Amino acid sequence: MEELKRTKVKELLYSNPGADVLAKGWVRTKRGNKQVKFIALNDGSTVNNIQIVVNTELFDDELIAKITTGASIGVKGTLVESEGDQQAVEIQAKEIELYGECDPMKYPIQKKNTSLEYLRTVAHMRLRTNTFGAILRIRHNMAFAIHKFFNDKGFVYLNTPLITESDAEGAGDMFQVTTLDLANVPMHKDKVDFGKDFFGKKTSLTVSGQLEGELGATAVGEIYTFGPTFRAENSNTPRHLAEFWMIEPEMAFYDNYDNMALAEEFVKYLVKYALDNCMDDLKFLNDKYDDGLIERLRSVIGIPFQVVTYTEGIKILEDAIQNGTQFEYPVHWGTDLQSEHERYLVEKHFGKPVILIDFPKDIKAFYMKQNEDGKTVRGMDILFPKIGEIIGGSEREASLEKLEERIDELGMSRKNLEWYIDTRRFGSVPHSGFGLGFERLLLFVTGMSNIRDVIPFPRTPKNAEF
């Protein structure tokens, strides 16, 4: 069988009939009668299967019986024009090699309409389904497109640390990293003696690479990070993970309007890349889960985003309440908008993506540049249909005096931030940046409704399997 070089299913489906070929993959289905069997074979290169036509007279009954859903096989045969209307070509089998059997009574994902909820309980096997094959391929393409976008613009890819002593968001919801013996924790003056720990201080998994990213931007001009981040929030919503991936560009000499323009260009580029390179998978997800998916993706790239101040957004929401709209969470100036508020602005009021700017400084992070009114900061959030916030960013405070005042005002410890403050002491420049949650992007691009279904192995409260 190895005389022939294996051809992937994706290539076979677009090949001309007539040649002998070798295909390898996993059996999706087997049907037929005593004389002929039809095997749907998939190797993960595409959401589409290739049909294998098996004349049972040429093969042992025992071998045919072992070819069940989930089994892996290699098939050598002739690529011929298909008699069915589902595909252009199929393989007339000459040789079949069984690589791995699969007990049909125990195989956990053989049912055609297995629920997404059930598949999360067998996440080590769900990747073999059409749905998660499509999601993995789209995830790969989006990761590649992210690197291509920034590379083509001359950005430098910066690897920021996963272990840190600083809390970039000021939220405090961080996973601690320690080698201390938790059954015998060293103490000093009734406090944990972190001097005995591996790093000699209290350290945690990062919630963001932004602060370190700013160091890179003030050295090489424009950088981006792309890596895992961690939040120890006890949240079980369909939009939260404890471990997720973030893309965080930081740009020297960008004001917030430059920042907004880059973010809009970036997200439109990614959506267009998905439409141009993932259409088979998008069509599958559109037909199976969200029949408005492709139309929604196309609508995003064809229109300018609507820029709205936070104050204007609050007025729109208050007017909506006056006119009978009901929200679960209250709305007034100074509140942090919830997903339901963001989606109302995008889906009901404007009918397009929205860039919300100029937030109250009391609901935003310490590093955001303050506006002249003393009440608001130059933040910007991009809001998308079905998702709400997909990008959050700001112009960063470049003034040493104002940054120090804000840190003191919030009662933050200066001890772990002196290195960050140094960027304002030595050659400070106007600079901006934003963060895009990779899984939030994938929710939008795939049409999935739960963020646990766009990452291979979700990490959530009480769940760290596999």
pLDDT digits 0-9 by tens, 6-20: 999 999 999 999 999
Predicted TM-score of the model (pTM): 0.94
- pLDDT for 193 beyond 90: yes
What is the radius of gyration, based on Cα positions, of the chain?
Answer: 27
Strand pairing report for 89-100 and 50-55: parallel
Q: If 0-12 CB within 10 Å is exposed, 13-18 middle and 19+ buried, where does residue 250 land?
A: buried
- pLDDT for 111 beyond 90: no
Q: State the pLDDT confidence band at 2, using cuts at 50, 70 and 90.
A: low
Predicted pLDDT at 83: 83
Q: What is the number of other CB atoms lying within 10 angstroms of the CB of residue 257?
A: 14
Residue 184 CB partners (closer than 8 Å, separation 6+): none
Indicate the average pLDDT of the chain: 95
Strands (E), 159-285: 163-164, 176-177, 187-188, 191-192, 203-205, 222-230, 243-252
Mean pLDDT of 101-110: 91
Query: Strand, coil or helix: what is 187?
Result: strand
Query: How many C-alpha atoms does 124 have within 13 Å on its Cβ side?
Result: 5
What DSSP designation does 300 have?
Answer: H
With left for phi above 0 and alpha for psi between -120 and 50, is residue 447 left, alpha or beta? left
Strands (E), 416-458: 431-437
Element (H, E) at 68: none
- pLDDT for 130 beyond 60: yes
Percent of the chain clearing pLDDT 90 (strictly above): 90
Mean pLDDT of 116-140: 95
Two structure tokens written together for 77: 């045969």
Strands (E), 253-399: 306-309, 354-360, 376-384, 388-396
Taking the C-alpha atoms of residue 396 and residue 63, their distance in angstroms, rounded to an integer, is 66
Mean pLDDT of 24-49: 96
Are 447 and 236 in contact by the 8 Å Cβ rule? The answer is no
Taking the C-alpha atoms of residue 9 and residue 42, their distance in angstroms, rounded to an integer, is 7
Mean pLDDT of 41-68: 97
Predicted pLDDT at 206: 95
Q: What are phi and psi of 14, to 5 degrees?
A: -110, 15
Two structure tokens written together for 93: 């089998």
Q: State the pLDDT confidence band at 408, using cuts at 50, 70 and 90.
A: very high
Predicted pLDDT at 124: 92
Two structure tokens written together for 340: 């339901």
**Structure-derived torsion over alpha carbons of residues 206, 412, 383, 149, reported in degrees to the nearest 10:** -50
- C-alpha separations of 324 from 318, 344, 349, 444, 466 in Å: 10, 13, 14, 29, 47
Taking the C-alpha atoms of residue 116 and residue 443, their distance in angstroms, rounded to an integer, is 14
- pLDDT for 170 beyond 70: no
- pLDDT for 345 beyond 80: yes
User: Where do we find the tokens 């298909």?
Assistant: 82
Mean pLDDT of 150-161: 98
Range with lowest mean pLDDT among 110-114, 155-159, 399-403:
110-114
Residue 262 CB partners (closer than 8 Å, separation 6+): 249, 251, 254, 434
Q: Angle of helix 279-288 relative to helix 293-301, nearest 10 degrees? A: 130
Predicted pLDDT at 168: 67
Mean pLDDT of 394-411: 95
Condensed to tens digits (0 to 9), the pLDDT of residues 417-435 reads 899 999 999 999 999 999 9
Are 267 and 390 in contact by the 8 Å Cβ rule? The answer is yes
Two structure tokens written together for 423: 């960027």
